[in-house]
A and B are shown apart, each in its own frame.
Chain A
Amino acid sequence: MSKKPTPVNDHVASGAQDFDRQVSGLLQSMYGAVESEGIPEKFLDLLEKLDQAERAQLPVKDR
């Protein structure tokens, strides 16, 4: 920021900010679309199995 702002620099800066906003929006939209899909059944089953397997082994002392 040592350079004096010129009209071109101002324009570039606001263009860059606008671009960053758009990129953020697109990233969040892409990510959010998957995040809002909910949890597929297979993962719920997997966690349930892992949990049950662990309970069956209790108590686990060493290791």
Chain B
Amino acid sequence: MDISATNDTYSFKHDLLAQLPAMRAFAVSLCGKPDIADDLVQDALMNAWSKQSSFQPGTNIKAWLFTIVRNLFYSRMRKRGREIQDSDGLFTERLSVPPAQIANLDMQDFKTALAKLPEDQREAIILIGATGLSYEEAAAVCSCAVGTIKSRVNRARHRLQELLAVSGAEDFGPDARDASVTQRAFVG
């Protein structure tokens, strides 16, 4: 049966466990490095545990935990400068992940492009495109307005399109021409 109601902390631990895979996935997506991501998740778990009384049961624990992961990520980045968030290469290191090829975009190019996005755009497109959070929840995680998330996602899409169109230009002759049309159409 349900493990519920054995004591006050039961469900918090239970909920944390249930969200752990998502916390790891979010952390890896944010910083691109699995080992650093796991350090981040470990700190986030301890942090979440220590302030569990501030979590309101019934509200979205995933968004609450993502907020903690995100805030820790940025405070570490500020401490270490750009050390853990370098532009090239970090996402590519994660290529042991099964290569997902979708049409003519491949995972390697995509991760490299994703790593080049400004942080605010990258987190927005990850939150909306991958985690299953709504725009409202993503806005809460990032402490910003829903409209801000929407515009960051849009800018992220356009930037990815530019980055991937440029890097793929030699690979796909006719597509490269189409892509440059697309790019121009989105400018301004």
A20 and B157 within 8 A (CB): yes
- Nearest CB in chain A: distance from B69 CB, A: 13
Give complex CA distance A34, B100 in Å.
13
Total A-B contacts with CB atoms under 8 angstroms apart: 114
Residues of chain B within 8 A (CB-CB) of A1 are none
Interface string of B85-101 (1 = CB under 8 A from A): 00000000010011010
Interface of B is mostly: helix
Complex contact A28–B182 (CB within 8 A): no
| A59, chain B: closest CB distance, angstroms | 10
Determine whether B161 belongs to the interface, using a CB cutoff of 8 Å to chain A: yes
Decide: A36 near B21, CB < 8 A? Known: A8-B181, A15-B178, A15-B182.
Answer: yes
Q: Contact flags (1/0) for A1-37 with B, using CB distance below 8 Å?
A: 0000000110110011011101111111111111111
Cβ-based interface call for B110 (8 A): yes
B9 to chain A: which residues have CB within 8 Å?
51, 54-55
Q: A27-B126, A33-B98 are in contact. Are A50 and B185 (CB under 8 A)?
A: no
B29 with A34: CB separation less than 8 A = yes
Known: A30-B107, A35-B24. A23 touches B160 (CB 8 A): yes
Decide yes or no: A37 and B111 within 8 Å by CB, A12-B185, A27-B130, A31-B29 being known contacts: no
Judge whether B21 and A29 touch: CB under 8 Å.
no
Number of A interface residues in the complex (CB < 8 A): 37
User: CB of A39 within 8 A of chain B?
Assistant: yes
Given contacts A42-B42, A50-B46, is CB(A31)–CB(B131) below 8 Å?
yes
Q: Which 10 A-B pairs have the closest CB atoms?
A: A31-B130, A29-B100, A27-B129, A35-B25, A34-B25, A27-B130, A33-B97, A35-B21, A12-B185, A26-B110
